[in-house]
Amino acid sequence: RIGSAASLSSAAIDSRLQELVRLFRERTEKVKERLIDPDVTSDDESPVASAAAAPMPAPGGELEGDKPSGDDHYCEMLCCTFKYRPWLDRLKSYQFPSSIDPLTNLMYVLWLFFVVMAWNWNCWLIPVRWAFPYQTPANIHYWLLVDYLCDLIYLLDILIFQTRLQFVQGGDIITDKKAMKENYLQSQRFKMDVLCLLPLDFFYFKVGVNPLLRFPRCLKYLAFFEFNSRLEAILTKAYIYRVIRTTAYLLYSLHVNSCLYYWASAYEGLGSTTWVYDGEGNSYIRCYYWAVKTLITIGGLPDPKTLFEIVFQLLNYFTGVFAFSVMIGQMRDVVGAATAGQTYYRSCMDSTIKYMNFYKIPKTVQNRVKTWYEYTWHSQGMLDESELLVQLPDKMRLDIAIDVNYNIVSKVALFQGCDRQMIFDMLKRLRSVVYLPNDYVCKKGEIGREMYIIQAGQVQVLGGPDGKSVLVTLKAGSVFGEISLLAAGGGNRRTANVVAHGFANLFILEKKDLNEILVHYPESQKLLRKKAKKMLKSNNKPKDEKGGPGDPMIIPPKADTPKLLKAALAATGRMGGKGPLGRLRWRLQELKAMQE
């Protein structure tokens, strides 16, 4: 019984010791993780919910919090029930923003679109209603309905939106309601908005519904130019909108000229001479056709007969030449700005081809250079990304670099645990390079001075006896060559060839750039040195020590003499060297001499 009790207590002690060892090991791993990556949170820091805080079930078996109240609304989808609010309640609870950022608020851009639509209604339809007989007593109420709807949009723009626009004063963004309202009331925009809403409609009771009384509505042109600026800022291909806008300018000038021609024809009398409109067919289409031939100076028009017709035609010709030349010049500027990058690419490629032809570069090299130009341009739309970002402030360049490269660089094992600001500084030094298929990224034996991050494409690591066997294929997001950044003694030699498999876009970080950064981060420098030594030791470790298959040996090495036996032989030697141990000691010395 005593023996069984002792065995049970020893087993309990052993199990307890094993449990303690396991807990200490887990605790050590957690501490290591927190030292390597400070962002990792410990499980001990997470609060544990108390059992006493759990809600007591209701007598019916449900928790009180699970009971749907009478005011809640639910919708069933598949096997789940989702809570939602009625659209009327959501509409009532919606609060209009107290201030609006005119540069980034998309809702404000959408509102400007409606204001511009109302402005275009007035600009395009007032001349038509004034010149052509399209406004009649039978349809006058439809015209007035749309007119006053546009006036309502103008009024809402003044009362609700313009008084809430943020502005910059002394470098500060002002969002105070009173200050924003005063800024708008003192601006030129407010004066023009009030002028365009002059209530000249009261003259309808005296002179009738004359569309010319609504001409001040066309003075809200500032909203049109603001809408153009805001829309171009959010469009990815703004030049398309610029081309459409320039074309609309030309069409509007022709539209106004057609209205003036019909008015002149009605003033002289429809069909009274060969120059005026004869009153046949669609009046607007025929007058528009005449305006196109006049403004573009195509010719083939009948000669004017009266003095009024001659003066009108001369003014038309002068205006047509001026307007058409302005439109052509503006269209050239728009198209030139849209194709500026393409023109720069063609000029660079032509200069390079001219240089290679002058020095008689082989055709194979020329074809690879042309392929590089074409792929680089079509893949990223530019030849050098640094030229695009050089005009931006340092903070904005850092923000762009973080969005593009931080997810990849933060996964590099060498940089985990380093100062976050050091990684940010390193992101700005990355350089993008495009490699063609079968291009060598690095060769075996050369000194490594760069680290490579694969942004797009694949690279292959070659090795083997012939140096052409594919050892591994690295894909987008992979990193190689990072040990070379911290290797001492002139750099770490490459141990294999790395070749681009297809087109590959890589980010390169040079060793000198990293050294310039580490001067300001000594703690990160110590950590990187330690990690680099550890990685170099693991890479230079023979395969036999890792348990892998080593090179076959003809004569295996002799096992080392145990330490206890060495001590016994040494004591025997001091005592005179007699007995079996003395003979064994003499025999071992003889074998050692033969081996040497």
Query: Has residue 553 got a pLDDT over 50?
Result: no
CA dihedral angle for residue 329, residue 330, residue 332, residue 336, rounded to 10 degrees? 140
Is residue 479 classed as helix, strand or coil in its secondary structure?
Answer: strand
Tokens of residue 50, six digits: 């108390």
pLDDT value of residue 560:
59
Greater model confidence, 586 or 42: 586
Q: Give the per-residue pLDDT at 57.
A: 45
136 vs 208: CA distance, rounded Å: 12
| pLDDT value of residue 580 | 65
Identify the pLDDT of residue 385.
Answer: 66
pLDDT tens digits along 127-148: 999 999 999 999 999 999 999 9
64-122 pLDDT, tens digit per residue, is 444 444 445 545 444 445 455 566 666 667 678 889 999 888 999 999 999 999 999 99
Q: Which CATH architecture has domain 392-540?
A: Sandwich (2.60)
Q: What pLDDT score does 547 carry?
A: 42
Answer with the residue of higher pLDDT: 201 or 580: 201
Q: Rounded CA gap, 297 and 325, in Å?
A: 11
- pLDDT of 155 > 90? The answer is yes
Residue 281 confidence (pLDDT): 87
Residue 34 has a pLDDT of 64
Lowest-confidence region among 38-42, 201-205, 353-357, 553-557:
553-557
Predicted local confidence at residue 259, as pLDDT: 95
Confidence grade of residue 386 (pLDDT, cut at 50, 70, 90): low
Q: Determine what percent of the chain is predicted with pLDDT higher than 70.
A: 75
Is residue 43 pLDDT above 80, yes or no? no
Domain ranges of the chain: 94-234, 237-383, 392-540
User: Which secondary structure element, helix H or strand E, spans residue 196, and what is its range?
Assistant: helix 188-196
Q: Residues near 581 by Cβ (< 8 Å), separated by ≥ 6?
A: 568, 569, 572
Q: Which residue has the higher pLDDT, 343 or 491?
A: 343
Quick one: tokens of 527? 């950590």
The candidate with the shortest Cα–Cα distance to 377, out of 334, 346, 336, 337, is 346
Most confident region among 264-278, 384-398, 405-419 by mean pLDDT: 264-278
Q: Are 119 and 224 in contact (CB under 8 A)?
A: yes
The residue count for the chain = 596
- On whether the CB atoms of residues 441 and 506 are closer than 8 A, the answer is yes
Q: What is the mean pLDDT of the chain?
A: 79
529, containing H or E segment: helix 522-540
Rounded distance, CA 272 to CA 63, Å?
92
Q: For position 178, what pLDDT does the model report?
A: 92
Lowest mean pLDDT among 20-34, 37-51, 217-231, 564-578: 37-51
DSSP state of 559: P
Is 432 within 8 Å of 455 (Cβ atoms)? yes
Residue-wise DSSP of 51-88: GGGSPPBPTTSSBGGGSPPTT-EEEEETTEEEEE--HH
List the CATH code of the domain at 237-383: 1.10.287
**pLDDT above 90: percentage of residues in the chain:** 27
Is residue 220 a contact partner of residue 193, using CB atoms and an 8 Å limit?
yes
Q: What one-character DSSP code corresponds to residue 381?
A: S
The mean pLDDT value for 251-269 works out to 93
Question: Average pLDDT, stretch 25-39?
Answer: 66
Mean pLDDT across the stretch 343-362? 88
Alpha helices in 271-393 (DSSP H): 283-295, 307-338, 340-358, 363-380, 385-389
* Mean pLDDT to the nearest integer, 273-294: 90
pLDDT score, position 71: 47
Rounded-to-integer distance, Cα 589 and Cα 593, Å: 6
pLDDT single digits (tens) 295-337: 777 767 888 889 999 999 898 888 888 888 888 888 888 888 8
User: What is d(CA 339, CA 334) in angstroms, rounded to the nearest whole number?
Assistant: 9
**Per-residue model confidence as pLDDT tens digits over 392-425:** 787 887 888 788 777 777 777 777 788 888 888 8
DSSP 6-40: HHHHHHHHHHHHHHHHHHHHHHHHHHHHHHH-TTP
Amino acid at 123: C
Identify the band that residue 468 occupies on the pLDDT scale cut at 50, 70 and 90.
Answer: confident
At 163, list the tokens: 């008084």
